[in-house]
A and B are shown apart, each in its own frame.
Chain A
Amino acid sequence: MTDQSQPSTTRRGFIKAGLATGGAIAAGGAANAAEPDPLITEIQPWAQGLGDGVDAVPYGLPIEYEDDVIRRNVEWLTADTISSINFTPIHALDGTITPQGCAFERHHSGAIELRKQDYRLMINGLVDRPLIFTYEDLERFPRENRVYFCECAANSGMEWAGAQLNGAQFTHGMIHNMEYSGVPLRTLLEEAGVQTEGKWIYVEGADASSNGRSIPLEKAMDDVLVAFKANGEALRKEHGYPVRLVVPGWEGNLWVKWLRRIEVTPQAIQSREETSKYTDTLADGTSRKWTWEMDAKSVITSPSPQSPITHGPGPLVITGLAWSGRGAIERVDVTIDGGKTWQTARLAQPGQDKAISRFYLDIEWDGSEMFLQSRAVDSTGYVQPTKDQLREVRGLNSIYHNNGIQTWWVNGNGEAENVEIS
């Protein structure tokens, strides 16, 4: 049991920065100004001189004042940075679409560079006509646009044994949500002609790791996309340029990047990524395999450890993300007292199938400490469980699929910390 009376001994660097900025904003925004505000009464340079020309930045980056809204990695998680992970700054984003430039990466042998001219996609195995497609071929098939989340199976995995990383970016940031344009995998498989003995597909990438995975034919013929655009533009190199697989609702490892081959097989290949990895060990030592769906999950992104309350008591926007691999988000409940009482939050848009939803709860904060939690409910009636409920079934060694309810402890100063509570 931790002594609650002790203040946090190590103040985070980014919180310090956040509080400094926030203080200045709070002073400027006071309800009744004693002195006229020089930002109003004095002519500012930007109101007098000229800004940049339209030729200054052919492809722009965010303004420098947003330079903390970036991917971060956690060095001690992996042996090197090549087969590793980084994290989306979800604590600083709003809405649901993840900007590609700060959307998380997970590679097993690095982000490779594969030109469209060098790109080839093979379909082989139990098909009538084994085929080779060029990138140009793929753009000639009828296209679909769909928004889906891609969540790493290991998102929140470091938190199985308890509260460890202090920030929503680190605890929940192995996720992005994009609008994909591409061809239904079904269309390509039908072009090759799947034979009746075909029960699975095996998909692999062009990179050295190959990341081969087996997918039941039923899913392949349902909603899987072979995507080449995300959020309107080509995939980023690190997200599989020029072509990746989009496997709605299923763990991110299956979203094979730099997709080069689809083999129709009678059986699962049981590759390294579905035996050694992405299998979930239970307390008795047996392990679940083929845990494909990502269950309903949510997290409050603000306030959170990297996004403290800087404006003092009064109106407060509590906001966060919810998603489910089994369907659409129907509802998100939020508690400010650690789960004694819950209120249903407001969804910014009706939930979409296997895509992220944004929720808001607007409260009047009285300045007292809060234990914030969110709880997602999806269209199948699944209710996001607590971490303890998950541990009762699975133990502590599952590594993957931790969708337990997150708690932020907000103190009277508005600082938030990742905690677990009874």
Chain B
Amino acid sequence: APAFAEKFGLGRPALPEEIAAWNVDVAPDGTGLPEGSGSVEDGERLFSDNCAVCHGEFAEGVGNWPKLAGGEGTLDHEDPLKTVGSYWPYLSTAWDYVHRSMPFGGAQSLSVDEVYAITAYILYSNYLVEEDFVLSNENFLDVEMPNADGFIVDDREEAEAHFWNAEPCMEDCKDSVEITMRAAVLDVTPEEETDEVATEQEEITAAADTQEA
């Protein structure tokens, strides 16, 4: 049995105020959620002021910026649209992430009640609550996220067990080799010469449309 770990006596005790300042994560069961509330109505105004320039007035996204709403039922499509409504399993993540890291460039500027309101508005934008809905720490876990059951724990060692095969084919492995796809045809690799960039812009834009940012 391993010996008890030696202590070095380094560091100092963390004070309650310090832990409160940094320990703001929220778990799926609501652990860490502060007291507070916010309405869809307030959220709509806050979203318009703080979020819509990138995410759109209806959370539908602007340009290449993330879409926060829409995409219901697209996860098994060729080009799934993964949003808070269509993809995210837990509302805690939306609250936590907005509170800690949004708006982009002005993070940690929203009050607790403002985060509740914005989260309520994102739910409303995804048609998950009515327009008179008020989200609070008390009804937080009542909200049903559509894709809550959409995730499985990494199963590669079972589903991909056939890749563990240390005796791969070495000779006469196939009869013919045909090219099926070429990167030079798509031609979206950055060039060193700047004069070629302009002529490529259309193709780049076309490729970006098919790309998940």
Interface positions of A (Cβ within 8 A of B): 1-2, 4, 8-10, 12-14, 17, 68, 72-79, 82-83, 108-109, 122-125, 129-133, 137, 140-141, 158, 161-167, 170, 187, 190-192, 202, 204, 208-210, 212, 260-261, 263, 265, 267-272, 275-276, 279, 281, 283-293, 295, 305, 330, 333, 337-342, 371, 375, 377, 380-385, 389, 393, 396-397, 399, 409, 417-422
Contact = CB atoms under 8 A, between A and B. Distances in A.
23 contacts: A2-B181, A13-B193, A68-B192, A122-B14, A123-B14, A130-B13, A131-B11, A170-B189, A187-B5, A212-B100, A261-B23, A263-B25, A269-B26, A270-B27, A271-B96, A275-B89, A276-B82, A276-B88, A287-B151, A291-B154, A293-B156, A384-B163, A393-B160
Given A137-B11, A191-B11, A270-B28, A419 B187 contact: no
Given A261-B22, A286-B152, A291-B156, A109 B101 contact: yes
Contact of A76 (B13, B104, B172, B211): B211
B166 A76 contact: no
Interface string B201-212: 000110110111
Given A163-B182, A285-B76, A340 B173 contact: yes
The 6 A-B pairs with the shortest beta carbon distances in the complex, nearest first, are A285-B76, A338-B177, A285-B75, A190-B5, A79-B64, A418-B183
B108 to A, nearest CB: 7
Interface in B85-131: 87-90, 92-93, 96-97, 100-101, 104-105, 107-108
Contacts of B154: 288-293
Contacts of B198: none
Contact of B174 (A72, A204, A339): A339
Contacts of A271: 25, 93, 96-97
A270 B89 contact: yes
A328 to B, nearest CB: 13
Nearest to A142: B8
B177 A208 contact: no
Contacts, number: 293
Given A77-B213, A132-B13, A2 B179 contact: yes
B103 to A, nearest CB: 10
Interface string B141-178: 00000000011111110011001111011111111111
A420 B186 contact: no
Interface string B1-33: 000011110111110001100110111110100
B93 A340 contact: no
A376 B159 CA distance: 20
B150 A76 contact: no
Contacts of A187: 5, 8
B132 interface: no
Contact of A337 (B78, B152, B177, B178): B177
Given A68-B192, A132-B14, A204-B25, 19 more contacts: A1-B179, A9-B184, A12-B191, A75-B190, A77-B213, A79-B65, A123-B14, A141-B8, A163-B186, A164-B186, A164-B207, A187-B5, A267-B27, A287-B87, A289-B154, A338-B174, A338-B177, A340-B172, A420-B181
B78 A396 contact: yes
Given A17-B192, A261-B22, A261-B23, A270 B93 contact: yes
B183 A164 contact: yes
B28 A8 contact: no
A165 B183 contact: yes
B13 to A, nearest CB: 6
Contact of A166 (B5, B6, B176, B189): B189
B74 to A, nearest CB: 8
A129 B11 CA distance: 10
B205 A122 contact: no
Interface residues of B, number: 93
A137 B12 CA distance: 10
Contacts of B156: 288, 291, 293, 295
Interface of B: 5-8, 10-14, 18-19, 22-23, 25-29, 31, 54, 63-66, 75-76, 78-80, 82, 84, 87-90, 92-93, 96-97, 100-101, 104-105, 107-108, 150-156, 159-160, 163-166, 168-193, 196, 204-205, 207-208, 210-213
A140 to B, nearest CB: 6
Contacts of B191: 12-14
B100 A210 contact: yes
A331 B6 CA distance: 40
Nearest to A381: B166
Contacts of A342: 168-171, 173
Contact of A288 (B28, B66, B75, B155): B155
B153 A288 contact: yes
A180 B21 CA distance: 30
A380 B164 contact: yes
B40 to A, nearest CB: 22
Contacts of A208: 101, 105, 107-108
B183 A275 contact: no
A202 B24 CA distance: 11
B11 A133 contact: yes
